Structure 1
Amino acid sequence: MSTQSTYPGDAVFAMCCCLRLPQLFSTCVAFSLVADMGFRRGAIGNWSMSFWCICFAMTLIITIVDLYRADSLFPFFWCNISVTYACYAALICLSASIIYSITYVQFVPYGPYRDRAIAATAFSCIASVLYVIEVAGMGACYELKETFFYVHTTQALLKVLETFVAGVIFAFLSNTSLYLHQPVLEWCVAVYSICFILAAVVLLLDLAEWKYMPPVPFSIFRLVLSLLSVLLYISALVLWPLYQFSEELGGQPQRSSDEDCMDELTYNMCAWDQRLAVAVLTAVNLLVYVADLGYWARQVSVGTKDQPRDSQEDLRLLPSLPTTS
C-alpha cells in the first residue's frame, strides 16, 4: 500500500486553501474586534479573546506544517492530532460565541462597541462552522477504509468532550474566591483536576497508537479509570451545589444575595453565576463520564475492543495459505 493512497497530500493542501485560510481570517477578526474595545471588553471579553488567539495560532502552525509537507514524517499521528485539534477548536469557538453573547453582548448599550461585540460573535460562529466542516471533511480526504482514525471513534469523542468541559470549568474556577474558603470546595477542584489529567493522558496515549495494546487488559484499565472518574464527579456534583447554594453551609441560595449581580451591566460574570455554571458543567461532564463507563463496560463484557480499520483491511489482504490435500 503506497503512502500516497493513505495520505493524500494534495487533498490536504486543497483543504488548507479552502478551510484553513477562512479559519485564520475569522478567528483573527474575532479577537481583533474584541481587543479594540479596550477596558470595556471585561473579563469575559479577555477570556474569549484569548481562546480566539489560541485557535488562530494553532491553526497557523498546523497550516504551515501542512504546506511544507512536514507531516509526511509521521502521517498517522499527525492526521489524528490535526483533526483532534479541529474538534477542540470547534467546541472552543462555539462556547466562546454562546458565553460571550449571553453574558456580555446583550447588556452592551447600542453603539459602536455593541456592533463590534456582535461582529466578533458572528465571526466566532463562522469559525466554529468551518472547524466542524474540517472534521467532517478529513474523513473524505483520508481513505477511512484503509487508514484508522482514532478521533472518529466513540471513545475518542467522549474523551474530547470530557477534557473540553473540564477546561471550561477551569475557566470559571480562575476566580479563586469561589472555593478557597472551603476545604470541601477545594476537594471539588481537585476532582476536576484529577479527572482532567487522567482523560488527557489516555487521549494522548491513544493518539500515540497505544490502541494496539492487548484488548482485555486495556479495556479493564479504561473501565477502572472511567468508574473512578464517575465516582469522583458524583462527589463533586453533590458537594459543590451543597456548599455553594446552601445558606446553612455558608452558601448563597439566591442570585440577589450577590451584590455584583445587582448591577445592570457588569463586564465580569458575578460570582453566583460562576458557581451555577460550574454546577451545571459538573452535571454535564458526569453524564459524559457515565456514557464512557457504559462504553467500556460493554467492551469488557463482550471481551473485544474496536480493531483499527487498517488492521482489519490488512488481514483481509493477506494472501491465502495454500491448502494441502
Structure 2
Amino acid sequence: MDPRGGHYLNRAAVLSLLGAARMTQLLLGCTIIALVAHSAGYNHAYGIFCMFVWCFCFAMTLVVFTMDVTRLPCCMLVSWDNLTVAYSMLATLMYVTASVVYPVYFLRSRCPEESCEVGGYRIAVTVCSSFGCFAYAVEVFLTRAKPGRVVGYMATLSGMLKVVQAFVACIIFGALANGSEYARHIPAQYCVVVYSLCFSVTVVVMAVTVSGKTSALRFPFDRFVIVYTFLATLLYLSAALVWPIFSFDKKYGTPARPDNCPSENCPWDSKLVVAVFTHVNLVLYFSDLIYSQRIRFITNSTV
C-alpha cells in the first residue's frame, strides 16, 4: 500500500478489457517473433521491415502495459492517455501493413524452396499477425472518444486521423525513395515539398498534444490545428492534381506500365503508389477538416 491508501499495482490494468487486449498483443507478438526467428525467416528488406514492426510493437506494448500496471504514468511529464491512444493506432496500422507484406513476399507458393515445414511456419506467422491487427484495433475501439466522456485529443477521430495521415505520408516517402524519379520535373519536386511539409506539421501537432503542453501555448491550439488542416487539404489537392500529370501524361511520363520494367524497383510502380496514397491522404485530411468543424460547431452550440 502507498501512503495515500491505494495499491501500488493497478489491478484494472490487468482485470479489464483493455488489459486483456494488451496481454493478447504481447502473447501474439512473442509468438510471431519466436516463429520468425525459429524457422519462418525474414530475409530481404520486406522481411526485415516486418520483423521490425513486430519487435517494435512488442517492446512498446510491454512498456505501456508495465507502466499501467505499476501506476508510473502519474510520474511522467506527458499526456499518457494521448500517448497510448496514438501508439495503439500506429501499432494497428503497422500490424496491418506487416500482415499484408509478409504473406505477399513469403507465401508466393505452397512450399517454399526450403521445405513445406517452413511454409507452415510462415502461414502461422501470417495468422498470428492478422489476429494481432484485431487485438490492437480492439484497444483503439476501447480508448476512442465516446459521448459524455472527457478524453484527450488523440482519442478523438481527428487525433486518430492525424496518426493515419502521418503513416500514409511515410508510405509515400518510401515510394518516392524507391526510384520514383521525382527530381526530373520541378512540379513533382513541389509535390515532395507538400508531402514533407504536411508530414512535419502533423508530427509536431501530435508531439505537442502528447506532451500535454497545449494550454501553455500563446495561441489557441485548436484553431491552429483547424487552419492547418484546411491548408493541408488544399496542398494535397494540388499535389493530387499535379503528381499524376507529371508521372503518367504522355508529354512528361508513361501512361501505361513499360513492358521492360522490372518486377521490383520499377519507377512506374513507385509513381503509382505515390499517386494512390496522395489521394488517400487527401480524403483523410478532408475528413479531418469536416470532423474538426463538426466538433467546433457542437462546442459553440453548447456554450
The 5-angstrom pairing of residues 301-316 of structure 1 reads 302=297, 304=299
Other-structure match for 2:208: 205
Query: What CA distance in whole angstroms lies between the structure 2 residues aligned with 1:204 and 1:83?
Result: 13
CA shift for structure 1 position 247: 3.7
TM-score (norm 1): 0.74
- For residue 136 of structure 2, the aligned residue among 131, 135, 147 is 131
Other-structure match for 1:79: 81
RMSD, matched Cα: 3.6
| Matching residue's letter, 1:273 | D
- CA deviations 1:23-59 (Å, max 9, x no partner) are 12322333454455557x4332222222222212211
The 5-angstrom pairing of residues 277-292 of structure 1 reads 277-292=273-288
Q: Structure 1, unaligned stretches of length 5 or more?
A: 262-267, 313-325
Counterparts in 2 of 1:43 and 1:226: CA distance versus 1, 3 Å: same
| Matching residue's letter, 2:13 | V
CA shift for structure 1 position 224: 2.1
Percent of residue pairs bearing the same amino acid type: 33
CA shift for structure 1 position 86: 1.0
Query: What CA distance in whole angstroms lies between the structure 1 residues aligned with 2:138 and 2:301?
Result: 26
Query: What CA distance in whole angstroms lies between the structure 1 residues aligned with 2:74 and 2:167?
Result: 28
The 5-angstrom pairing of residues 160-179 of structure 1 reads 160-179=163-182
Counterparts in 2 of 1:259 and 1:139: CA distance versus 1, 3 Å: closer
CA shift for structure 1 position 270: 4.2
Q: How many residues align?
A: 291
Other-structure match for 2:269: 273
Contact 1:258–1:272 under 8 Å retained in 2: no
The 5-angstrom pairing of residues 47-126 of structure 1 reads 47-74=49-76, 77-101=79-103, 103-110=104-111, 111-126=116-131
Contact 1:223–1:293 under 8 Å retained in 2: yes
Counterparts in 2 of 1:277 and 1:130: CA distance versus 1, 3 Å: same
Secondary structure of 2:262's partner? helix
Contact 2:191–2:239 under 8 Å retained in 1: yes
Contact 2:11–2:69 under 8 Å retained in 1: no
- For residue 289 of structure 2, the aligned residue among 287, 293, 314 is 293
Other-structure match for 1:319: none
Secondary structure of 1:107's partner? coil
Counterparts in 2 of 1:258 and 1:211: CA distance versus 1, 3 Å: farther
Contact 2:41–2:47 under 8 Å retained in 1: no
Contact 2:82–2:210 under 8 Å retained in 1: yes
Larger helix fraction of residues: 1
Counterparts in 2 of 1:269 and 1:114: CA distance versus 1, 3 Å: farther
CA shift for structure 1 position 238: 1.9
Counterparts in 2 of 1:83 and 1:181: CA distance versus 1, 3 Å: same
| Matching residue's letter, 2:237 | I
CA shift for structure 1 position 127: 0.9
- For residue 260 of structure 1, the aligned residue among 259, 262, 271 is 262
CA shift for structure 1 position 223: 2.9
Contact 1:27–1:127 under 8 Å retained in 2: yes
TM-score (norm 2): 0.79
Q: Quick check: 194-203 or 75-84, which moved more? A: 75-84
Counterparts in 2 of 1:195 and 1:152: CA distance versus 1, 3 Å: same
Q: Structure 2, unaligned stretches of length 5 or more?
A: none
Q: Quick check: 189-198 or 45-54, which moved more? A: 45-54
Who wins on radius of gyration, i.e. which is larger?
Answer: 1
| Matching residue's letter, 2:279 | A
Q: Are 2:13 and 1:28 equivalent residues in the alignment? A: no
Query: What CA distance in whole angstroms lies between the structure 1 residues aligned with 2:78 and 2:148?
Result: 14
